[in-house]
Amino acid sequence: MPTPAKAQVIDEMTEKLKQARSAVLLQTQGLTVAEITELRRRLTAAGVELHVVKNTLLRIASEKAEYQDFSSILQGQTTIALSMEDEIAAAKVISDYMRTVRTGKPIVVKGGILEHAPIPASEVEALSKVPPRDQLRAEVVGAIQGPMQQTYGVISAPLRDLINVLEARIRQLGGEAA
Protein backbone atom coordinates (compact mmCIF):
# COMPACT_ATOMS: atom_id res chain seq x y z
CA MET A 1 0.00 0.00 0.00
CA PRO A 2 1.56 3.33 -1.03
CA THR A 3 2.05 6.10 1.47
CA PRO A 4 -0.40 9.04 1.33
CA ALA A 5 2.21 11.23 -0.40
CA LYS A 6 2.87 8.60 -3.06
CA ALA A 7 -0.87 7.98 -3.49
CA GLN A 8 -1.33 11.70 -4.10
CA VAL A 9 1.45 11.70 -6.73
CA ILE A 10 -0.17 8.68 -8.41
CA ASP A 11 -3.58 10.41 -8.46
CA GLU A 12 -2.11 13.65 -9.87
CA MET A 13 -0.18 11.79 -12.57
CA THR A 14 -3.25 9.71 -13.43
CA GLU A 15 -5.27 12.89 -14.03
CA LYS A 16 -2.47 14.47 -16.06
CA LEU A 17 -2.08 11.32 -18.17
CA LYS A 18 -5.83 11.24 -18.84
CA GLN A 19 -5.71 14.86 -20.05
CA ALA A 20 -2.48 14.52 -22.04
CA ARG A 21 -2.64 14.21 -25.82
CA SER A 22 0.96 12.96 -25.99
CA ALA A 23 4.07 12.61 -23.88
CA VAL A 24 7.81 12.23 -24.33
CA LEU A 25 9.86 10.19 -21.87
CA LEU A 26 13.39 11.48 -21.35
CA GLN A 27 16.50 10.81 -19.39
CA THR A 28 17.77 14.18 -18.14
CA GLN A 29 20.27 12.86 -15.65
CA GLY A 30 23.40 15.01 -15.60
CA LEU A 31 21.76 18.28 -16.68
CA THR A 32 22.54 21.31 -14.56
CA VAL A 33 19.78 23.25 -12.81
CA ALA A 34 20.14 26.06 -15.38
CA GLU A 35 19.80 23.61 -18.29
CA ILE A 36 16.73 21.89 -16.87
CA THR A 37 15.21 25.31 -16.05
CA GLU A 38 15.74 26.44 -19.65
CA LEU A 39 14.14 23.23 -20.95
CA ARG A 40 11.20 23.64 -18.55
CA ARG A 41 10.77 27.30 -19.64
CA ARG A 42 10.66 26.34 -23.32
CA LEU A 43 8.23 23.51 -22.66
CA THR A 44 5.93 25.69 -20.55
CA ALA A 45 5.83 28.32 -23.32
CA ALA A 46 4.56 25.58 -25.67
CA GLY A 47 1.92 24.35 -23.20
CA VAL A 48 3.89 21.28 -22.10
CA GLU A 49 4.46 20.18 -18.50
CA LEU A 50 7.72 18.58 -17.35
CA HIS A 51 7.74 16.16 -14.39
CA VAL A 52 10.36 13.92 -12.84
CA VAL A 53 8.51 10.89 -11.50
CA LYS A 54 9.54 7.59 -10.01
CA ASN A 55 9.13 4.78 -12.52
CA THR A 56 6.90 2.70 -10.24
CA LEU A 57 4.54 5.61 -9.58
CA LEU A 58 4.39 6.47 -13.28
CA ARG A 59 3.66 2.84 -14.16
CA ILE A 60 0.82 2.66 -11.62
CA ALA A 61 -0.60 6.01 -12.81
CA SER A 62 -0.49 4.85 -16.44
CA GLU A 63 -2.34 1.66 -15.53
CA LYS A 64 -5.02 3.69 -13.74
CA ALA A 65 -5.28 6.01 -16.77
CA GLU A 66 -5.79 2.89 -18.94
CA TYR A 67 -2.64 3.32 -21.03
CA GLN A 68 -1.03 0.42 -22.82
CA ASP A 69 1.94 -1.06 -20.97
CA PHE A 70 5.10 0.98 -21.51
CA SER A 71 7.09 -0.35 -18.58
CA SER A 72 9.89 -1.38 -20.97
CA ILE A 73 10.70 2.34 -21.38
CA LEU A 74 10.71 2.92 -17.61
CA GLN A 75 14.33 2.06 -16.92
CA GLY A 76 16.67 4.38 -15.04
CA GLN A 77 15.86 8.03 -14.32
CA THR A 78 12.68 9.18 -16.10
CA THR A 79 11.41 12.66 -16.88
CA ILE A 80 8.07 12.97 -18.64
CA ALA A 81 6.98 15.92 -20.81
CA LEU A 82 3.17 15.97 -21.07
CA SER A 83 1.55 17.87 -23.92
CA MET A 84 -2.04 18.76 -23.08
CA GLU A 85 -3.03 20.64 -26.25
CA ASP A 86 -0.91 19.60 -29.22
CA GLU A 87 0.31 16.09 -30.03
CA ILE A 88 3.62 17.25 -31.48
CA ALA A 89 4.48 20.19 -29.20
CA ALA A 90 6.58 18.23 -26.70
CA ALA A 91 8.52 16.38 -29.39
CA LYS A 92 9.19 19.62 -31.32
CA VAL A 93 10.40 21.60 -28.30
CA ILE A 94 12.62 18.79 -27.01
CA SER A 95 14.10 18.17 -30.47
CA ASP A 96 14.76 21.89 -30.89
CA TYR A 97 16.34 22.06 -27.42
CA MET A 98 18.60 19.08 -28.14
CA ARG A 99 19.66 20.60 -31.48
CA THR A 100 20.38 24.14 -30.23
CA VAL A 101 21.56 23.84 -26.63
CA ARG A 102 24.89 22.19 -25.90
CA THR A 103 24.84 20.46 -22.54
CA GLY A 104 27.51 18.65 -20.58
CA LYS A 105 25.52 15.43 -20.73
CA PRO A 106 22.95 15.19 -23.51
CA ILE A 107 19.27 14.45 -23.07
CA VAL A 108 18.26 10.94 -24.12
CA VAL A 109 14.78 10.41 -25.56
CA LYS A 110 13.63 7.04 -24.24
CA GLY A 111 10.34 6.97 -26.11
CA GLY A 112 6.96 8.57 -26.15
CA ILE A 113 3.25 8.09 -25.71
CA LEU A 114 0.72 8.88 -28.40
CA GLU A 115 -2.98 7.98 -28.16
CA HIS A 116 -2.37 6.07 -24.90
CA ALA A 117 0.17 3.77 -26.56
CA PRO A 118 3.96 3.74 -26.36
CA ILE A 119 6.02 4.80 -29.37
CA PRO A 120 9.76 4.32 -29.86
CA ALA A 121 12.27 7.17 -29.79
CA SER A 122 12.57 7.09 -33.59
CA GLU A 123 8.85 7.91 -33.93
CA VAL A 124 9.23 10.75 -31.42
CA GLU A 125 11.94 12.16 -33.72
CA ALA A 126 9.61 11.75 -36.72
CA LEU A 127 6.83 13.54 -34.81
CA SER A 128 9.14 16.48 -34.19
CA LYS A 129 9.52 16.94 -37.96
CA VAL A 130 5.78 17.17 -38.65
CA PRO A 131 4.79 20.71 -39.72
CA PRO A 132 2.60 22.81 -37.42
CA ARG A 133 -1.16 22.25 -37.46
CA ASP A 134 -1.90 25.55 -39.25
CA GLN A 135 0.55 24.70 -42.03
CA LEU A 136 -1.01 21.24 -42.46
CA ARG A 137 -4.46 22.83 -42.71
CA ALA A 138 -3.19 25.28 -45.34
CA GLU A 139 -1.70 22.40 -47.34
CA VAL A 140 -5.03 20.52 -47.25
CA VAL A 141 -6.94 23.61 -48.38
CA GLY A 142 -4.42 24.17 -51.17
CA ALA A 143 -4.69 20.54 -52.26
CA ILE A 144 -8.47 20.92 -52.51
CA GLN A 145 -8.56 24.43 -53.97
CA GLY A 146 -6.10 23.81 -56.84
CA PRO A 147 -8.10 21.09 -58.63
CA MET A 148 -11.34 23.00 -58.01
CA GLN A 149 -9.93 26.09 -59.76
CA GLN A 150 -8.76 23.98 -62.68
CA THR A 151 -12.18 22.35 -62.98
CA TYR A 152 -13.87 25.77 -62.91
CA GLY A 153 -11.52 26.96 -65.66
CA VAL A 154 -12.27 23.93 -67.85
CA ILE A 155 -16.03 24.25 -67.36
CA SER A 156 -16.18 28.01 -67.95
CA ALA A 157 -13.79 28.04 -70.95
CA PRO A 158 -16.41 27.25 -73.68
CA LEU A 159 -18.76 29.98 -72.45
CA ARG A 160 -15.91 32.49 -72.20
CA ASP A 161 -14.73 31.56 -75.72
CA LEU A 162 -18.27 31.96 -77.10
CA ILE A 163 -18.55 35.45 -75.59
CA ASN A 164 -15.16 36.42 -77.07
CA VAL A 165 -16.21 35.20 -80.54
CA LEU A 166 -19.52 37.11 -80.38
CA GLU A 167 -17.79 40.32 -79.23
CA ALA A 168 -15.25 40.01 -82.05
CA ARG A 169 -18.05 39.54 -84.59
CA ILE A 170 -19.90 42.61 -83.26
CA ARG A 171 -16.73 44.72 -83.61
CA GLN A 172 -16.18 43.34 -87.10
CA LEU A 173 -19.68 44.41 -88.16
CA GLY A 174 -19.03 47.91 -86.79
CA GLY A 175 -21.08 47.75 -83.60
CA GLU A 176 -19.93 48.58 -80.12
CA ALA A 177 -18.81 45.87 -77.75
CA ALA A 178 -21.38 44.81 -75.20
- How confident is the model at residue 1, as a pLDDT? 59
Write the pLDDT tens digit of every residue in 31-64.
Answer: 888 888 999 999 999 889 999 888 888 888 888 8
Which sequence spans correspond to the domains of the chain?
A: 4-130, 132-178
Residue 125 amino acid letter:
E
* CB contact at 8 A, 16 and 82: yes
Q: CA 14 to CA 40: how far, in whole Å?
A: 21
Determine whether domain 4-130 maps to CATH 3.30.70.1730: yes
Contact present, 107 and 70 (Cβ < 8 Å): no
What's the pTM value of the predicted model, to 2 decimals?
0.72
| Burial group, residue 82, by CB count within 10 angstroms (0-12, 13-18, 19+) | buried
Summary count for the chain: helices (H), strands (E): 6, 5
Those residues of the chain that have pLDDT short of 50 are none
For residue 34, the model assigns a pLDDT of 87
